[in-house]
Chains A and B, each alone.
Chain A
């Protein structure tokens, strides 16, 4: 491989990881944008998505369904389950304390995270679970750079979902209501916008995106563990901060940039120092641009 081919290959690797980070980061950033809560349980919602996909794939494969149906059903099922979970968590855990100081909600979020993690462990066991190789393994060689079908699926589903979310937020009535709620909850309520429902829907949509992230994560890496949600969730949260928390395009950019940084860090520096490298860049960036790459609307509120 020539140095250029290696570089392009590393970009492709980083892009794959980054797409998954971005999908999860969106949930963090949407919730933060609307109610200024860092939903630390989001990483576990993502993991629930991976496990639901696994359970559905195993169940349907036993019935002899074709691979694309397994994939679609697994992903759709995970989206429904995680959407419900996100909504239920918001209704039962966050809504009752919405008027309380923000720290209370943060601690609640950490509690929910522990709860979900241990629930996953009790239901699915503590050992690594193998994801069956559902998709046919196809590899293309484009000018010395290897692209797999899996990578393509990750990129395309990431791009499509992020595009859809952008349309939803910018061009629909619901999106408009979400943006309005983010700006001023009281004024929205006065104008007859169902604020509670809008906030719940924000959780639902964010959780559904995380579910897709979970499906892709499981399929791509082949093994999942109940505590994978923690590290991946933390990285996605980092991505959201990197892009500017509360800013939706920021989460997308942040996720991709973080994935690329990790890929290039491991590829050109050293895999054992890649996290150090990644977080050094993050610290440096936040020193000079505290609002993240694309900034956010905190200034607007203040």
Chain B
């Protein structure tokens, strides 16, 4: 352990020294997401997407004359309190012109208020809770689809394609999980499915056998879980251990290869999940991104593309503003229209939500995520 500690210490000192001796003026773009803890894989994928966009922009030349871009990554530990601390740190740095983040809706929600107060552009690449953009913050935009859409797509697929009629809904009691599961429940009820129960689980817990045994006794067709992959993996694994035969479905929070690894390929086989995109590798406008990302980082994570898109929009806004000034960058977003993004032409509605997003359905086959279809939203 000691060599590692020294490694960290010397790294910290090195960063500190560099930070002080930094002479070249830069434009900083803040990034915030979980970089440690159980959801770190998702946060890292997001960070990679943003980093790629910024490195590509720097390779093309200075963002503004004499000013390079620099990504400042912060770890919000998927904790709402930590996310506010991190947000305050970012806005107090006068070089930071915009913030990309956060991942979890319950982090983005309080942090977005900090950014709004500081009048700084904030684009979330992942937080899908519809309430965030309904706060009326003109500083907030997001590149991810929202859960009212995702909930509709999930309910449709479960009811029409999987033929599920008796459904038990679980969520992780977070802003994201509860909001998403409520949307799913509303739409399933509209379609005429029977909701056998809707219960929460605690994040970080390990033992779900009693809950799954109870669900098994109700013999549902489908168990729907709105939450993140660490708990999702445990539910999937323990469901096969207690012999719960019902189909299993979840949302974009499960869309990470770590889900399959942690649950075990056998237990994860045949589960379904909705994602806030169709198959990215098949979108023509995304090909350059897919190639560059895979060459550098390997598999594309659930939110990598959205972070990449968010970073490119931020860079566009900085260049449009043509000066290193937060207010000018924010004002530039007013003239944002038909941006050639990786999902086609990007536009925002009046609330800052993206227009024209699609919901994809994925399944797990032979230990890998496989695209099934684009969800119907009728």
Residues in B with CB closer than 8 Å to A199 are none
Using known A-B contacts A139-B243, A262-B207, determine if residue A222 contacts B199 with beta carbons closer than 8 Å: no
Q: Is A166 an interface residue (CB 8 A)?
A: no
Q: Counting chain B CB atoms within 10 Å of each CB, which of A17, A128, A221, A268 scores highest? A: A128
Residues in B with CB closer than 8 Å to A126 are 36-37, 40
Q: Is A225 an interface residue (CB 8 A)?
A: yes
Q: Counting chain B CB atoms within 10 Å of each CB, which of A1, A17, A123, A127 scores highest? A: A127
Of A7-15, A90-98, A205-213, A242-250, the one touching chain B: A7-15
A210 CA to B133 CA, complexed, in Å:
47
A232 CA to B258 CA, complexed, in Å:
23
Q: Contact check, B261 vs A266: say whether CB atoms are below 8 A apart.
A: no
A245 CA to B5 CA, complexed, in Å:
37
Q: Which chain A residue shows the least CB distance to B170?
A: A271
Query: Of B1, B37, B206, B207, which contacts A123 at CB under 8 A?
Result: B1
A217 CA to B234 CA, complexed, in Å:
13
Report the minimum CB–CB distance from B36 to chain A (whole Å): 4
Q: Is B8 an interface residue (CB 8 A)?
A: yes
Residues in A with CB closer than 8 Å to B37 are 126-127, 225, 227
Q: Render B238-252 as a binary contact track against A, CB cut-off 8 A, 1 for contact.
A: 000111000000000
Q: Which chain A residue shows the least CB distance to B200?
A: A272
**CB pairs A–B below 8 angstroms (6 shown):** A121-B36, A127-B41, A139-B243, A267-B210, A272-B173, A272-B200
Q: Contact check, B210 vs A231: say whether CB atoms are below 8 A apart.
A: no
Report the minimum CB–CB distance from A13 to chain B (whole Å): 4
Report the minimum CB–CB distance from B319 to chain A (whole Å): 36
Q: Is A104 an interface residue (CB 8 A)?
A: no
Prevailing SS type, chain A contact patch = helix
Q: Contact check, A221 vs B1: say whether CB atoms are below 8 A apart.
A: no
Q: Contact check, A128 vs B262: say whether CB atoms are below 8 A apart.
A: yes
Q: Counting chain B CB atoms within 10 Å of each CB, which of A126, A146, A225 scores highest? A: A126
Residues in A with CB closer than 8 Å to B173 are 272
Q: Is B211 an interface residue (CB 8 A)?
A: yes
Q: Knowing that A128-B258, A137-B241 touch, tell me 20 more A-B residue pairs with CB under 8 angstroms.
A: A1-B216, A13-B207, A13-B213, A17-B209, A122-B1, A123-B1, A123-B4, A126-B36, A126-B37, A127-B40, A128-B38, A128-B233, A223-B230, A227-B204, A231-B205, A232-B206, A264-B210, A266-B214, A271-B202, A271-B210
Q: Contact check, B201 vs A221: say whether CB atoms are below 8 A apart.
A: no
Q: Is A296 an interface residue (CB 8 A)?
A: no
Query: Of B5, B202, B209, which contacts A122 at CB under 8 A?
Result: B5
Q: Contact check, A272 vs B210: say whether CB atoms are below 8 A apart.
A: no
Residues in B with CB closer than 8 Å to A272 are 173, 199-202
Q: Is B130 an interface residue (CB 8 A)?
A: no
Q: Which chain B residue shows the least CB distance to A148?
A: B241
Q: Is B326 an interface residue (CB 8 A)?
A: no
Q: Is A172 an interface residue (CB 8 A)?
A: no
A137 CA to B240 CA, complexed, in Å:
11
Query: Of B199, B206, B216, which contacts A221 at CB under 8 A?
Result: B206
Residues in B with CB closer than 8 Å to A222 are 233-234, 237, 262-264
Using known A-B contacts A127-B38, A130-B261, A223-B230, determine if residue A6 contacts B213 with beta carbons closer than 8 Å: yes
Q: Is B137 an interface residue (CB 8 A)?
A: no
Using known A-B contacts A127-B258, A146-B243, determine if residue A267 contacts B214 with beta carbons closer than 8 Å: yes
Q: Contact check, B230 vs A128: say whether CB atoms are below 8 A apart.
A: yes
Residues in B with CB closer than 8 Å to A217 are 206
A217 CA to B43 CA, complexed, in Å:
27
Q: Is B316 an interface residue (CB 8 A)?
A: no
Q: Which chain B residue shows the least CB distance to A230?
A: B204
A270 CA to B211 CA, complexed, in Å:
8
Interface on A for B, CB 8 Å cutoff? 1, 6, 9-10, 13-14, 16-17, 119, 121-123, 126-128, 130, 133, 137, 139, 146, 148, 150, 217, 221-223, 225, 227-228, 231-232, 262-268, 270-272, 274-275
Report the minimum CB–CB distance from B1 to chain A (whole Å): 6
Report the minimum CB–CB distance from B210 to chain A (whole Å): 4
A253 CA to B106 CA, complexed, in Å:
39
Residues in B with CB closer than 8 Å to A137 are 241
Q: Which chain A residue shows the least CB distance to B243?
A: A146
Q: Contact check, B213 vs A130: say whether CB atoms are below 8 A apart.
A: no
A10 CA to B202 CA, complexed, in Å:
19
Q: Which B19-42 residues have a C-beta within 8 angstroms of A?
A: 36-38, 40-41
Q: Contact check, B209 vs A223: say whether CB atoms are below 8 A apart.
A: no
A146 CA to B201 CA, complexed, in Å:
23
Q: Is B18 an interface residue (CB 8 A)?
A: no
Q: Contact check, B264 vs A133: say whether CB atoms are below 8 A apart.
A: yes
Q: Contact check, A271 vs B36: say whether CB atoms are below 8 A apart.
A: no
Q: Contact check, A263 vs B201: say whether CB atoms are below 8 A apart.
A: no
Query: Of A1, A130, A266, which contacts B210 at CB under 8 A?
Result: A266
Residues in A with CB closer than 8 Å to B205 are 231
Q: Render B120-137 as a binary contact track against A, CB cut-off 8 A, 1 for contact.
A: 000000000000000000
Residues in B with CB closer than 8 Å to A231 are 204-205
A-B CB proximity, top 8 nearest: A272-B200, A266-B210, A126-B36, A267-B210, A13-B209, A271-B211, A263-B210, A221-B206
A222 CA to B236 CA, complexed, in Å:
11
Q: Contact check, B214 vs A6: say whether CB atoms are below 8 A apart.
A: yes
Report the minimum CB–CB distance from B75 to chain A (whole Å): 9
A288 CA to B40 CA, complexed, in Å:
45
A224 CA to B41 CA, complexed, in Å:
15
Residues in A with CB closer than 8 Å to B36 are 121, 126
Q: Contact check, B38 vs A119: say whether CB atoms are below 8 A apart.
A: no
Q: Is B17 an interface residue (CB 8 A)?
A: no
Q: Is B217 an interface residue (CB 8 A)?
A: yes
Q: Which chain B residue shows the least CB distance to A5?
A: B217
Q: Which chain B residue shows the least CB distance to A137?
A: B241
Residues in B with CB closer than 8 Å to A264 are 210
Report the minimum CB–CB distance from A144 to chain B (whole Å): 10
Report the minimum CB–CB distance from B186 to chain A (whole Å): 19
